[in-house]
């Protein structure tokens, strides 16, 4: 999902390759893509248990800003999407959150994107990752999930970033799902939450 672009004020935004930007624009043109709404229960429970979180980056917010309900005098929310809401990324937040986003990153960019997110996050990371093919495809024939890897691959990738420890993880699936176009996908989701230790 991203090359990085430096602004004169030192802030950083993510920048996709031109070809992939066009693909994302096509995907976002579909009504069924990027429509998450509201704060997921698992994240709300985490926030309830961690009152030290006063700022959140929703990385890959899709259409709209699903975390608007969190905004208050005690909570700052940054909602980022490279197509629908390409804001400059904050220099730091207490929590970086993504849901069904990391698997859409261009494979050659995943290491630099993770490094950037783990630099921005000062206390916690909370990621929900699809580990299976998407039912949608790109116009060039690739699957919309550019990275299709099992939870263990993601865990090892994340654990290479120093200064963090996993405090919660959950694997959901595989669960076979049948779609209208005769597509069958074994759905696997990986949730991982990390805390900064240094």
Of 106, 108, 101, give the one whose Cα is nearest residue 126: 101
At 165-192, the pLDDT tens digits run 999 999 999 999 998 878 899 999 999 9
**C-alpha separations of 133 from 66, 76, 106, 149, 169 in Å:** 24, 34, 15, 9, 21
Of 133, 108, 104, 129, give the one whose Cα is nearest residue 27: 104
Give backbone dihedrals phi and psi of 7, rounded to 5 degrees, phi first.
-95, 165
CA pair distance 117, 175, nearest whole angstrom: 30
What is the CATH number for 11? 3.40.50.150
Q: Tell me the angle at which helices 151-159 and 110-120 cross, rounded to the nearest 10 degrees.
A: 60
Q: Tell me what the mean pLDDT of segment 56-81 comes to.
A: 88
pLDDT level of residue 135 (50, 70, 90 thresholds):
confident
140-154 burial, b if ≥16 CB within 10 A, otherwise e? eeeebbbbebebeeb
At 151-165, the pLDDT tens digits run 999 999 999 999 999
At 10-40, the pLDDT tens digits run 444 456 777 776 777 676 566 555 456 568 8
Comparing 28 with 128, which gets the higher pLDDT?
128
pLDDT level of residue 9 (50, 70, 90 thresholds):
very low
Position 68 scores a pLDDT of 85
Q: Tell me what the mean pLDDT of segment 97-122 comes to.
A: 95
Q: Which two tokens stand for residue 24?
A: 């994302």
Domain span at 37: 3-196
Domains in the chain: how many in total? 1
């Amino acid at each position: 999902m991203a090359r990085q672009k430096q602004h004169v004020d030192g802030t950083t935004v993510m920048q996709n390759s031109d070809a992939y930007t066009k693909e994302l624009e096509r995907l976002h043109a579909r009504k069924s893509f990027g429509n998450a709404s509201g704060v997921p229960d698992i994240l709300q429970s985490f926030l309830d248990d961690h009152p030290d979180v006063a700022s959140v980056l929703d990385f890959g917010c899709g259409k709209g800003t699903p975390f608007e309900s969190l905004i208050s005098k005690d909570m700052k929310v940054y909602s980022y999407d490279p197509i629908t809401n390409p804001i400059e990324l904050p220099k730091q937040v207490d929590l970086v959150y993504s849901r069904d986003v990391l698997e859409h990153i261009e494979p050659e960019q995943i290491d630099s994107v993770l490094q950037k997110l783990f630099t921005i996050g000062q206390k916690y990371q909370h990621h929900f990752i699809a580990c299976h093919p998407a039912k949608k495809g790109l116009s060039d024939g690739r699957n919309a999930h550019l990275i299709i890897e099992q939870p263990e691959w993601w865990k090892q990738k994340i654990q290479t970033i120093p200064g963090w420890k996993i405090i919660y993880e959950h694997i959901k699936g595989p669960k076979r799902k049948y779609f209208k176009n005769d597509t069958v996908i074994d759905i696997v989701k990986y949730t991982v939450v990390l805390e900064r230790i240094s």
